[in-house]
Amino acid sequence: MANTKDRIHGGIEQTADAAKGAVNAGKDAAHQATSEGSGMVQQVADKASELLDQGKQAASDAGQKVQQWAGDTYDAAARGVTQAYDATTQAVGHYGDELTGLIRRYPIQALLVGFGAGLLVSRLIKS
């Protein structure tokens, strides 16, 4: 019976040693996975930081392009308005010169047209 007892005791010790070895192996694997995981987390953080920097640079470049485009558009619009103003001033001046020439050429007719226009305006105002 002592022999059976020793065998059972030996089997229990072997099972305990095997369980202890499995626990230690699991502990080592968990430690290694934690180390690799923290390395992966650092890689992800580095990549995220790199992408953030690229995004900031792209936004800055886009802002500069928009600012340049807005300035160019403003300059083009200002030139267009100036040209339109100059053309209108020139046309009105030309029209005024023509009207003055007609009045000088036909003074009596111009006086009669002015008198008639005045009568029409006064009648419209009275009614």
Task: Yes or no: say if 98 and 106 are a contact pair by the CB < 8 Å rule.
Answer: no
Q: Each residue of 44-102: pLDDT tens digit? A: 778 888 888 888 888 888 889 888 998 899 999 999 999 999 999 999 999 999 989 98
Q: Is residue 103 a contact partner of residue 110, using CB atoms and an 8 Å limit?
A: yes
Q: What is the mean pLDDT of the chain?
A: 83
Question: What pLDDT digit, counting tens, does each position of 50-66 carry?
Answer: 888 888 888 888 889 88
The Cα diameter of the chain in Å comes to: 154
Q: How confident is the model at residue 19 (pLDDT cuts 50, 70, 90)?
A: low
Residue 112 half-sphere exposure, CB side, CA atoms within 13 Å? 4
pTM: predicted TM-score of the whole model, two decimal places: 0.44
pLDDT mean over 117-121: 92
